Amino acid sequence: MTDNLTPLAPALGSMTVLVAAVIVHDRAAGRVVLLQRGPRAKFGQGMWDLPLGKSEPGEPITDTAVRELYEETGLRVKPEALEVAQVVHGAQGVQAPNGYLTVVFAAHEWTGEPENREPDKAADVRWFEVDALPAEFVRTSAGALRRYLDGGPLVSLAGWR
């Protein structure tokens, strides 16, 4: 006897990875929180990035955003306070050979001060002025942040022909 999931097993390896990222935007001060990927990060070592991470099975994407932001920076946001800022569909990524879908949220209300809560993955976490963003910035995250700040298109594609 086989279970009903057996035919899906080969397809599971080819699924698109679901990711949440958060732009913590202090509008009054004109700044955002970024983290610098550490030397042992799985990609983009030494580059700046948005707080982000993969969704766990059965986890709503807003919960992923809240969890990852807290795990990485110590900042707390409420899921209902998140606004969709950008959707990035990547053709492939380091841990997503069959593509990824990143929902980038903006948070304008939070509690706490940014701190590096994952020093094994990140070298630094801090505020950046929106008009002085670092040059060494993960390309897809930098593009999503710039489109959000400029009021650009909500959906972007990365690596598609």
What mean pLDDT is reported for the chain? 88
Angle at 36 between CA 110 and CA 33, to 5 degrees: 20
Read off the pLDDT of each residue in 19-26 and give the average, rounded to a whole number: 97
Q: Against a cut of 0.85, is the pTM above it?
A: yes
DSSP reduced 3-state for 154: coil
pLDDT at 29: 98
- Domain spans of the chain, in order of start: 6-158
Token pair belonging to 90:
């990547």
pLDDT at 89: 87
pLDDT at 15: 82
pLDDT at 145: 97
DSSP reduced 3-state for 81: helix
What architecture is domain 6-158? Alpha-Beta Complex (3.90)
CA distance 64 to 12: 20
CA distance 69 to 91: 24
CA distance 124 to 148: 23
Using pLDDT thresholds of 50, 70 and 90, give the confidence band for residue 6: very low
pLDDT at 72: 97
Angle at 125 between CA 104 and CA 60, to 5 degrees: 30
- pLDDT above 60 for 9: no
Read off the pLDDT of each residue in 54-62 and give the average, rounded to a whole number: 95
CA distance 85 to 107: 9
pLDDT in tens, 91-145: 876 666 678 889 999 999 999 999 999 999 999 999 999 999 999 999 999 999 9
pLDDT at 91: 80
pLDDT at 59: 95
